[in-house]
Amino acid sequence: MALTHDAWKSLKEGNDYPVTFQIEERSRALEMTAWRSSRGRMGLRQIFADEAVGQQLLEDLRRGGTLSAIYEGRPLASFALADASAVVEELRRCQAS
């Protein structure tokens, strides 16, 4: 999972930041690591080494609703998950191939 934004100038590459993801009533806290994308933008990402954790997140996304990312009580981003089910199914097909 990754989030990037042009305005995130204060992130320090390699540092960890606690981000909470909330999908409707379900909430999940993650340590996301700051990184610089190939286009120079700063972002936060989390790579799931535990397949079960990644699968649970995909299931939460598939259910739909709204995904909110929160850092230190402040919203970072909010996404409508209207087409997330189709995206998750395509991700699974790609992984299977």
Least-confidence region, from 61-65, 67-71, 74-78: 61-65
Q: Which helix (H) or strand (E) holds 63?
A: none
CA distances from 23 to 15, 45, 92, 97 (A): 25, 18, 20, 29
CA 88: distance to chain centroid? Answer: 13
Tell me what pLDDT residue 52 has.
84
**In the structure encoding, which two tokens stand for residue 73, read together?**
């009580």
94 pLDDT above the threshold of 90? no
Percent above pLDDT 70 for the chain? 100
Q: Hey, is 8 helix, strand or coil?
A: coil
Provide the mean pLDDT of the chain.
83
User: 21-35, pLDDT tens digit by residue?
Assistant: 888 888 888 888 998
pTM recorded for the entire structure? 0.69
Alpha carbon 31 to its chain's center: 11
